[in-house]
Structure 1
Amino acid sequence: MTAPRRDDDKLAQLAPERTLRRLELQVTRRLDGLLNGEHLGLLPGPGTELAEARLYQPGEDDVRHMDWAVTARTTTPHVRDLVADHELEAWALVDLTPSMDFGTAAMVKRDLAVAALAAVGFLTVRLGDRVGAYLQHPGGLRRWPARTGKAALYALLQAVLDAPTEPGTGPPARMSGTTATAGAPHGDLAAAITSLARGQTRRGLRVVISDFLPPAGADPVTDPDAQPAWESPLRRLAARHQVLAVEVIDPRELDLPDVGLVEMTDPETGAVHEIVLSRRTRRRYAEAAAAQREHTRAALRRCGVHHLVLRTDRDWITDVARFAVRQRRAAGRAVSTAGVRP
């Protein structure tokens, strides 16, 4: 008998369908009409086609949906329901550059990216809609075509796990379903977002999963007014699509432990440095990390996208559930928070 592959075990642990179904029962089933229709998804949004008129329910219905013609004819307030959009496509851009292979807690950031993609994917394909992805790994940008069904989604998740971690290795055999995409060199998140926007013009959900770390040479601490290179293409993407930015972070990227002399390796360049983690060094590092996160948060806010933060030392399902509740509250709809820990 052949022992199961470790990656398969990891996939079952990161993206268990049963766990996501439990998430639906606890939170998303109580959130009426998510994504662009009757989806149990992460972002609020009604459909676009007009349906039948019905009586207005004070405190429950949005007055912007008031059907004034029927209201005038019947002298009773009526609203017009909206039919959900179907046959949608959700596209994700997954950052698989070397910095995503870092992790000091329950999982590395790449594994958490798989979990985020699984959450979006399973809550999208349940109604037969398609999910596709652009995978930005060291070999370049690869496009995974949009397909329906959970089997295709599991194949996509496995492709993310199998993506190479070293530059120049090229896509492995398991990624044979992908196609190369020009114009997005290694590590260039801005070019990858531009490729996603140009390649997929049909309106829908777009998810960008990354740690949003600045490239070598960019320093948001010394130049806080500098705009991230990815901000302009992300703003253009958000002008046409519903965009969710998933920021993946590890606790050691926010502060350093008091362990004295350590060797640190830059995962992007491979440079090794010996650093003494003194109290002053740790304090300056924490301040720089906080400034970088605030710089990213402000840029995403200017782009007008939804921002979900996932940490490798936290329960990602709980964070996704809290995010969904916040989005519904922000949309002005009452929700039940049963099953969501404060």
Structure 2
Amino acid sequence: MTPPARRSTGATPGRSEAVLSRLQLLVTRKLDGLLQGDYAGLLPGPGSEAGESREYRPGDDVRRMDWPVTARTTTPHVRRTVADRELETWLAVDLSASLDFGTGQWLKREVVIAAVAALAHLTVRGGNRIGAVVGTGGAPSAPRRWGRTPDAVPVVRRLPARSGRKEAQGLVRAVAGIEIGPGRADLGALVDVLNRPPRRRGVAVVISDFLAPPEQWGRPIRKLRVRHDVLAIEVVDPRELDLPDVGVLPVVDPETGELHEVQTADPRLRRRYAEAAAAQRAAIARELRAAGAAHLRLRTDTDWLLDMVRFVAAQRHARTRGTTR
């Protein structure tokens, strides 16, 4: 449930172009200035080509254990791998109706597009390919009998993986131009699209607010992690974490349109809301951690680009020390 303030009805062409122009300037200036290097990816993975062995360090991926060397030396060793120079990155972008909301500087949808733009900028170099599958609430199904309102059927749109900066910019514009439909996308089914058919090892990024129950998307992400480095980008608005004391607040469910009035002057209600929100976010983080996915949280009221830069820097530092996370 979200306050109706700053909730839009869709992606208007004028606003989308203005947001994309602003994002392009931000991403190009800040990422190029802060993340220098010949090969700078968001998840600078170890690659898939076999390299030298070294002693095991706490945090190393046990799936890369070099058992022959370990047996000969009686000391645990892991096999280093050579970074792939041509990487394929796939994005699973959730554009449910709950993303069409924001009370901070940005709408949640705009933060999603911002993340897509930054990912495209970071991964398009060196002949890398980037593609996306985008899920929305979709169009109504066939009308039911007895005059009941038809359900909204989730829709998944696939944008093929291509290399080149021009193609990456086209992908960002295509995602930004998709209209958010009523209802919620099926996040589990959206992630499963990346599992079928099996692809060569690469990077998979899931961008969502993850408001669907974890049991719906946790298993598909664990399955995706078997073959790919997985990054989960969680988009959050501050009003989803706590309620302000503003008296009677109209609250609308963006996925159903159901409207309620909430008395926010009640401190017990605000406390229960904050506790429930904290428990929900903890469950999301716990499920992503169990799936082995890297977790990045972006907020609509903070500098999302700085958060991404810090995340990339932390990933690089962890890789330099030989750890996987």
**Normalized against structure 1, the TM-score is what?**
0.73
Unaligned runs of 5+ in 1: 30-37, 57-61, 70-79, 168-184, 219-226, 335-342
Amino acid at match of 1:40: A
| Cross-structure match for 1:25 | 33
Among 236, 240, 251, which residue is 2:223 paired with?
Answer: 236
| Cross-structure match for 2:206 | 208
Shifted more, 320-329 versus 87-96: the winner is 320-329
| Cross-structure match for 1:188 | 186
| Cross-structure match for 2:126 | 127
Change (3 A) 1:15 1:197: farther
| Cross-structure match for 2:99 | 100
Higher relative contact order (CA 8 A, sep 6+): 2
Would you say the 8 A contact 1:28–1:324 is kept in 2?
no
Following superposition, the deviation at residue 330 of structure 1 comes to: 2.9
Following superposition, the deviation at residue 41 of structure 1 comes to: 1.2
Would you say the 8 A contact 1:14–1:111 is kept in 2?
no
Change (3 A) 1:258 1:81: closer
In angstroms, what is the RMSD of aligned CA positions?
A: 3.0
Following superposition, the deviation at residue 5 of structure 1 comes to: 3.5
1:43-83 per-position Cα deviation (integer Å, ceiling 9, x unaligned): 232334357x8xx9xxxxx9x999x99xxxxxxxxxx9864
Is residue 280 from structure 1 mapped to residue 268 from structure 2 by the alignment?
yes
Following superposition, the deviation at residue 85 of structure 1 comes to: 1.7
Instruction: Give 3-state SS (helix, strand or coil) of 1:264's partner.
Output: strand
Among 139, 143, 152, which residue is 2:158 paired with?
Answer: 143
| Cross-structure match for 2:178 | 163
1:209-257 per-position Cα deviation (integer Å, ceiling 9, x unaligned): 000003xxx5xxxxxxxx5211111101001111000000011110111
1:297-323 per-position Cα deviation (integer Å, ceiling 9, x unaligned): 000000001000111111111101111
Following superposition, the deviation at residue 200 of structure 1 comes to: 5.0
| Cross-structure match for 1:12 | 21
Matches within 5 A, 1:313-332: 313-332=301-320
Amino acid at match of 2:97: P
| Cross-structure match for 1:43 | 43
Following superposition, the deviation at residue 121 of structure 1 comes to: 1.1
Unaligned runs of 5+ in 2: 1-12, 55-59, 70-78, 139-154
Q: How many residues align?
A: 278
| Cross-structure match for 2:112 | 113
Task: Provide the C-alpha distance between the structure 2 equivalents of 1:130 and 1:325, rounded to a whole number of angstroms.
Answer: 22
Instruction: Give 3-state SS (helix, strand or coil) of 1:142's partner.
Output: strand
Following superposition, the deviation at residue 286 of structure 1 comes to: 0.5
Task: Provide the C-alpha distance between the structure 1 equivalents of 2:80 and 2:292, rounded to a whole number of angstroms.
Answer: 27
Is residue 197 from structure 1 mapped to residue 206 from structure 2 by the alignment?
no
**Normalized against structure 2, the TM-score is what?**
0.77
Change (3 A) 1:213 1:81: closer
Would you say the 8 A contact 2:27–2:117 is kept in 1?
no
Percentage of matched positions with identical amino acids: 48
Instruction: Give 3-state SS (helix, strand or coil) of 1:328's partner.
Output: helix
